[in-house]
């Protein structure tokens, strides 16, 4: 029951469910006539310019055409006859690149967001530039200003360096205003790698966005009823944010046993930092799992041949995903990927390849489904199968046919013709025995058919009975 208007159709006045006879699963073999009726009803709806809604269409078939089929069967019939588009929802592991790294102060995210302070009903807007460590989610530095500028970005980075030391990399949003020429030169001077959050991701990496969301949920809009100047509003906001940052860094995130401030203070070996820096510079390829070797070898070739940058976690995720795709889809995706990167070299990324692979695999799945529906429920195919079945039924021996063959053998005066008729009767009896579990049932039906033959005399009936026993023996 999907709507309230169906309530009276489901329950009676005493709130007892109404039992509706359902033929689903009982003699619902799809015939050519049913296919013809379904196609005609669907074309009538489309001719009126209306959209074909499956739930209402299945209900209409049941009520107006006495065709009781499941939604799945009706959909397959429509797909087979070109009236509905196939859509496959096979769940496969989705590929994504892991952003969070393995050491604190390795990768940080810096972004800005607007905050409002109301003083005497007047709204003052400020930009809060915030730095967050991607691994520990520690809020490392912030700055309040009138707008998001390069100076504020550098100010946050300097504050972060003063408190926690220089990070290895900075993750940024695509099209970020922080990536001005001065910002890039500052990062180069401090040997900080600039890491994109992901191709085609205008919302960025989500680290600062999550931090701002939690912060605004706690602070909200600051209301002050005073004649204080704008500078006082700035100081109040800075104090509130500083309190929040200190308290937030003392509380572990859900599922983690250590607070962000403790995680940031944990010692990290220089060798480990160098390993992470090298991983940012050139993604290290891992050895493949021996299972599903052909597909994993293909993934390894794609990464190596096109020099795609990937880290350990992204590679493992890619290995897990690619084994669920077909080799044919992987080959076609590689061809499409090669054409794409020839047009634009910036597309040479692993997520872009998996995006192509997902689309091509979906197209192949839908094509297979359409082919299956067409072969099974296409009107011409159903009609041909019914014709073949009718021909088989016409050629299959029957009890009446066997009785007629015995009658002709008894009444025949030519010995040679009688022998031919007896041999044919034995072949028919052999086929009929396969259709019956008990021979006595077949014998009784043949005997009843012989008793109804009006041409027999009593003596001929006895001969026919003896011949029947000989044939069925």
- Alpha carbon separation from 309 to 167, 198, 330, 335 (Å, rounded): 21, 12, 19, 19
264, 104 in Cβ contact below 8 A? yes
Q: What average pLDDT is seen over the chain?
A: 79
Q: What is the average pLDDT across 178-205?
A: 68
pLDDT confidence of residue 454: 81
Question: What is the pLDDT, as a whole number, of residue 100?
Answer: 47
DSSP string, 258-275: S-HHHHHHS---HHHHHH
Q: Can you tell me the mean pLDDT for 166-180?
A: 70
Do residues 46 and 84 make contact, with C-beta atoms less than 8 angstroms apart?
A: no
Confidence of residue 218 (pLDDT cuts 50, 70, 90): low
Percent of the chain with pLDDT over 90: 3
Query: Per residue in 197-208, pLDDT tens?
Result: 654 333 344 567
pLDDT given at position 22:
55
> Is the pTM above the cut of 0.75?
no
Among left, alpha and beta (phi > 0; psi -120 to 50; other), residue 307 is: left
Q: What is the pLDDT of residues 81-131, one digit of tens each?
A: 888 888 777 777 776 665 545 577 788 888 888 888 877 778 888 888 888
Output the pLDDT for position 12: 66
Extract the tokens encoding 152: 């504020």
Domains of the chain with bracketed CATH: 4-80 (no CATH), 107-265 (3.30.420.10), 271-365 (no CATH), 396-472 (no CATH)
Q: Which residues, 6 or more positions from 346, have their beta carbon under 8 angstroms from its beta carbon?
A: 199
Q: What angle in degrees, to the nearest 10, is found between the helix axes of 181-189 and 150-164?
A: 20
H runs (alpha helix) in 12-145: 32-47, 54-64, 71-80
Crossing angle of helices 71-80 and 54-64, rounded to 10°: 100
Cα(56)–Cα(393) distance, integer angstroms: 38
pLDDT reading at 253 higher than 80: no
Model confidence band, residue 278 (pLDDT cutoffs 50, 70, 90): confident
Q: Which residues lie below 8 Å from residue 141, measured CB to CB, with a gap of 6+?
A: 130, 131, 156, 157, 159, 160, 163
- Compute the average pLDDT of residues 164-180: 72
pLDDT, tens digit (0-9, with 9 covering 90-100), for 20-67: 555 555 545 788 888 888 888 888 888 888 888 888 888 888 888 888
Q: What is the pLDDT of residues 292-316, one digit of tens each?
A: 778 888 888 888 888 888 877 788 8
* 382-391 pLDDT tens trace: 888 778 777 7
pLDDT of residue 158: 92
* CA atoms of 412 and 421, how far apart (whole Å): 9
What pLDDT is attached to residue 217? Answer: 66
Integer angstrom CA distances of residue 245 from 131, 221, 262, 272, 428:
11, 17, 14, 28, 93
Residue 470 has pLDDT above 80, yes or no: yes
- Is the separation of the CB atoms in 389 and 443 below 8 Å? no
Q: Which of 42-46, 203-207, 209-213, 332-336 is predicted with the least confidence, judged by mean pLDDT?
A: 203-207
pLDDT (tens digit, 9 = 90+) per residue, 221-249?
A: 666 766 667 777 777 787 788 778 877 78
Bigger pLDDT: 267 vs 127? 127
Residue 418 confidence (pLDDT): 82
Higher pLDDT, 120 or 449: 449
Mean pLDDT of 451-467: 83
Look-up: residue for tokens 């309230």? Answer: 4
Structural tokens at position 294: 């052909």
Of 203-207, 250-254, 339-343, 405-409, the range with the highest mean pLDDT is 339-343
Check if the beta carbon of residue 154 is closer than 8 Å to that of residue 186.
yes
* Tokens describing residue 259: 């607070």
Record the tokens describing residue 247, joined without a space. Answer: 């308290």
Lowest mean pLDDT among 151-155, 221-225, 276-280, 318-322: 221-225
The predicted model gives 213-224 an average pLDDT of 68
- What does the alpha-carbon distance between residue 319 and residue 295 come to, in Å, rounded to a whole number? 9
CA distances, 184 to each of 130, 159, 178, 189 (Å): 18, 17, 9, 9
Give the C-alpha distances (Å, rounded to integers) separating 177 from 127, 150, 211: 13, 8, 19
What confidence score (pLDDT) does residue 199 get? 43
């Amino acid at each position: 029951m999907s709507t309230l208007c169906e309530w009276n159709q489901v329950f009676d006045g005493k709130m007892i469910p109404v039992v509706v006879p359902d033929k689903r699963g009982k003699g619902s073999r799809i015939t050519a006539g049913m296919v013809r009726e379904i196609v005609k009803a669907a074309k009538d709806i489309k001719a009126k310019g209306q959209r074909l809604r499956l739930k209402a269409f299945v209900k209409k078939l049941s009520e107006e055409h006495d065709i009781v089929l499941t939604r799945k069967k009706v959909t397959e019939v429509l797909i087979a006859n070109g009236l509905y588009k196939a859509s496959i929802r096979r769940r496969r592991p989705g590929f994504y690149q892991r952003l969070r790294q393995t050491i604190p102060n390795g990768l940080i995210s810096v972004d800005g967001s607007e905050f409002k302070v109301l003083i005497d009903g007047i709204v003052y807007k400020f930009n809060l530039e915030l730095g967050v460590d991607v691994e520990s989610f520690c809020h490392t530095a912030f700055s309040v200003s009138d707008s998001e500028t390069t100076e504020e970005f550098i100010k946050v980075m300097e504050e972060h360096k003063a408190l926690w030391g220089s990070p290895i990399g900075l993750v940024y949003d695509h099209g970020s205003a922080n990536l001005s020429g001065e910002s890039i030169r500052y990062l180069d001077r401090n040997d900080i790698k600039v890491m994109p959050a992901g191709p085609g991701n205008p919302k960025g990496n989500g680290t600062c966005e999550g931090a701002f969301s939690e912060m605004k949920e706690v602070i909200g809009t600051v209301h002050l009823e005073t004649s204080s100047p704008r500078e006082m509003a700035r100081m109040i906001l800075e104090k509130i944010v500083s309190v929040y940052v200190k308290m937030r860094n003392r509380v572990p995130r859900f599922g983690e046993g250590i607070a962000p401030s403790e995680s940031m203070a944990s010692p990290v070996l220089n060798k480990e930092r160098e390993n992470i820096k090298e991983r940012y510079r050139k993604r290290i390829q891992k050895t493949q799992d021996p299972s599903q070797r052909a597909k994993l070898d293909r993934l390894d070739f794609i990464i190596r041949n096109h020099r795609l940058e990937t880290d350990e976690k992204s590679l493992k995720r890619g290995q897990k995903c690619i084994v669920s795709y077909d080799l044919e889809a992987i080959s076609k995706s590689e061809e499409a990927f090669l054409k794409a990167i020839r047009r634009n070299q910036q597309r040479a990324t692993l997520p872009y390849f998996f995006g192509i692979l997902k689309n091509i695999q979906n197209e192949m799945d839908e094509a297979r489904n359409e082919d299956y529906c067409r072969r099974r429920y296409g009107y011409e195919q159903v009609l041909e199968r019914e014709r073949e079945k009718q021909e088989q039924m016409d050629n299959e021996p029957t009890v009446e046919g066997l009785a007629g063959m015995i009658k002709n053998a008894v009444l025949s005066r030519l010995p040679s013709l009688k022998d031919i008729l007896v041999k044919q009767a034995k072949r028919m009896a052999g086929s009929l025995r396969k259709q019956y579990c008990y021979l006595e049932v077949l014998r009784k039906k043949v005997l009843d058919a012989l008793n109804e033959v009006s041409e027999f005399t009593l003596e001929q009936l006895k001969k026919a009975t003896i011949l029947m026993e000989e044939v069925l023996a």
